[in-house]
């Protein structure tokens, strides 16, 4: 029995890949990463919106495509492969799931329809629930929120923010509220932007169902972890492809380096390590929608394992390129750094393994 992506999922994935190949070449990525072309970055985001990435997970009755997480996973692989400088994980995966699971009918209609129409874009500030830093705290009382949230996802051009306290209560804040301060963070990954958000007694619209339980935030975070895993797998595959291609072109001592046993073994090891990750990823995405008893554990295992595998592949692929791999000329570092940051977002492998242990009752 073959377990993999359907023809429709592959078609969607290939359309995203072709668009990025045409509109987001390595030269464009370099320019955007240096802060030199925000217009082009916005054009790439709009182009992907036109392909429908904003409505993937939104039910049809709210104007979306009503697809499952496996479709979003297929798209995320392409985004990681092309180190796309766009919003996706927070705005178009975590936010729709959190609102659909935690909102009442009125909130769903307002916010999900807004996302589908591209009238509303969410940033996601869930670090208080995943693991906040010392002296950082989100306080939600009487429809007001105060505190700070580090590493907010997809803040660029956002109209609203999803914010959670440590108990999983989720609320929605307008980004342009006078009590909201956005502090841009500097990370190793220049293809995406992350921010710290300060809330000073800001009006907040609490998602009704999250008042009594934390189902919505757990599902949202699980989905985010699966999507980040897909992004890292896509980036890893590109690094392997680039390493193999380079080994066929680069000569040393009059021979192509790909003919050296050490280089061949490194490329084979990378491929052998990555291949099982696809099945793990796809099963986790399938379980998210179809196997609720396994979903949380699979999300944890997928994120922790693929993070470790991708880290090793990033290292080996760079080594295959030799000294050139450390230069900006080859651009390998964009995928390397993306994998490195994905490893930490929404929980490091160590933190997530601890969660997996608790899920299993250890």
Q: What is the CATH number of the domain that holds 319?
A: 1.20.140.10
Query: 349: buried, middle or exposed (CB in 10 Å: 19+, 13-18, 0-12)?
Result: middle
Domain count, the chain: 3
CB 126 within 8 A of CB 175: no
List 181's β-bridge partners, or say none. 198
Domain identity same for 222 and 351: yes
State how far the Cα of 313 lies from the Cα of 276, in Å rounded to an integer.
Answer: 14
Where in the sequence is the domain holding 221, given as residue range(s)?
215-359
Q: Is residue 15 part of a domain?
A: yes
**Residue 2, domain member (yes or no):** no
Q: What is the pLDDT of residues 46-96, one digit of tens each?
A: 999 999 999 999 999 999 999 999 999 999 999 999 999 999 999 999 999
pLDDT band at 215 (very low <50, low <70, confident <90, very high): very high
Tokens of 198: 């300060």
For residue 20, give both structure tokens: 């990025």
> What pLDDT, on the 0 to 100 scale, is given for residue 261?
78
Same domain, yes or no: 21 and 111: yes
- Residue 251 has what pLDDT? 67
User: For residue 186, what is the DSSP state?
Assistant: P
CB neighbours of residue 293 within 10 Å: 7
253 and 185 in a common domain: no
**Under DSSP, is residue 173 helix (H, G, I), strand (E, B) or coil?**
strand
Residue 1 within a domain: no
Q: Which of these three, 211, 228, 245, is where a domain ends? A: 211
How much is the pLDDT for 259? Answer: 65
Nearest to 82 by CA among 321, 310, 242: 242
What pLDDT is recorded for position 228? 98
Contact 57, 96 (CB under 8 A): yes
The label of the residue with tokens 């993070």 reads 307
**Cβ neighbours of residue 291 under 8 Å, at least 6 residues apart?**
298
Residues 100 and 128 in one domain: no
Q: Please write the tens of the pLDDT for every residue from 6-36.
A: 899 999 999 999 999 999 999 999 999 887 6
Helix, strand, coil in percent for the chain, rounding step 5: 60, 15, 25
Determine the length of the chain: 362
For residues 99 and 124, is the Cβ–Cβ distance under 8 A? no
Average pLDDT, the chain: 92
**Structure tokens of 330?**
């080859």
pLDDT score recorded for residue 248? 84
Looking at residue 322, its pLDDT comes to 85
DSSP SS3 for 243 = helix
Q: Are residues 224 and 323 in the same domain?
A: yes
pTM of the entire predicted model: 0.95
> For 216-230, how does the pLDDT look when each residue is reduced to its tens digit (9 = 90+)?
999 999 999 999 999
Across 1-5, 197-201, 327-331, least confident range: 1-5
Q: What is the DSSP string of 95-146?
A: HHHHHHHH--HHHHHHHHHHHHTTS--EEEE-HHHHHPPTT--EEEETTEEE
The answer to whether 306 and 280 have CB atoms below 8 angstroms apart is: yes
Residue whose C-alpha is closest to residue 92's, from 44, 48, 132, 131: 48
User: Does 1 have pLDDT greater than 60?
Assistant: no
Same structural domain for residues 198 and 248? Answer: no
The CATH number linked to 127 is 2.40.110.10
Segment 94-149, tens digit of pLDDT: 999 999 999 999 999 999 999 999 999 999 999 888 876 766 688 998 899 999 99
What local confidence, expressed as pLDDT, does residue 2 receive?
62
Residue 172: partners with Cβ closer than 8 Å, 6 or more residues away: 107, 111, 122, 160, 161, 162, 163, 204, 205, 207
- In the three-class reduction of DSSP (H, G, I as helix; E, B as strand; rest coil), residue 16 is classed as helix
Taking residue 179's Cβ as centre, other Cβ atoms within 10 Å add up to 15
Q: What's the pLDDT at 135?
A: 66
Exposure on the CB side of residue 137, measured as CA atoms within 13 A: 5
Q: Quick one: 189 and 316 in the same domain?
A: no
pLDDT in tens, 239-296: 999 999 988 877 677 777 666 778 888 999 999 999 999 999 999 999 999 999 999 9
């Amino acid at each position: 029995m073959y377990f993999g992506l359907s023809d429709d999922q592959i078609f969607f994935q290939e359309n995203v890949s072709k668009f990025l190949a045409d509109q987001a070449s390595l030269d464009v990525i370099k320019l955007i990463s240096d802060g030199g072309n925000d217009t082009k970055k916005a054009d790439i985001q709009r182009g992907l919106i036109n392909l429908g990435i904003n409505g993937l997970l939104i039910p049809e009755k709210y104007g979306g495509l009503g697809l499952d997480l496996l479709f979003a996973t297929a798209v995320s692989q392409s985004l990681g492969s092309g180190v796309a400088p766009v919003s996706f994980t927070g705005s178009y995966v975590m936010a729709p799931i959190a609102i659909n699971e935690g909102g009442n009918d009125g909130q769903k209609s307002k916010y999900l329809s807004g996302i589908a129409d591209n009238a509303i874009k969410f940033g996601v500030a869930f670090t208080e629930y995943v693991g906040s830093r010392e002296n950082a705290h989100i306080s939600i009382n009487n429809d007001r929120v105060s505190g700070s949230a580090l590493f907010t996802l997809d803040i660029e051009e956002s109209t609203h923010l999803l914010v959670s306290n440590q108990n999983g209560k989720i609320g929605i804040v307008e980004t342009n509220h006078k009590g909201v301060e956005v502090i841009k963070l500097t990370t190793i990954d220049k293809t995406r932007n992350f921010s710290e958000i300060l809330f000073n007694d800001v009006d907040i619209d609490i998602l009704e169902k999250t008042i009594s339980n934390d189902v919505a935030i757990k599902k949202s975070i699980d989905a985010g972890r699966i999507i980040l895993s897909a992004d890292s797998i896509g980036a890893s595959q590109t690094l392997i492809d680039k390493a193999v291609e380079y080994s066929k072109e680069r000569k040393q001592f009059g021979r192509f380096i790909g003919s050296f046993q050490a280089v061949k073994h490194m490329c084979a090891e990378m491929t052998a390590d990555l291949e099982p990750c696809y099945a793990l990823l796809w099963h986790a995405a399938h379980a998210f929608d179809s196997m609720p008893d396994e979903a949380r554990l699979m999300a944890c295992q997928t994120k922790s394992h693929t993070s470790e595998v991708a880290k090793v592949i990033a290292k080996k692929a760079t080594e295959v390129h030799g000294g050139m791999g450390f230069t900006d000329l080859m651009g390998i570092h964009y995928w390397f750094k993306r994998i490195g940051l994905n490893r930490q977002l929404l929980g490091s492998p160590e933190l997530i393994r601890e969660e997996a242990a608790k899920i299993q009752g250890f």
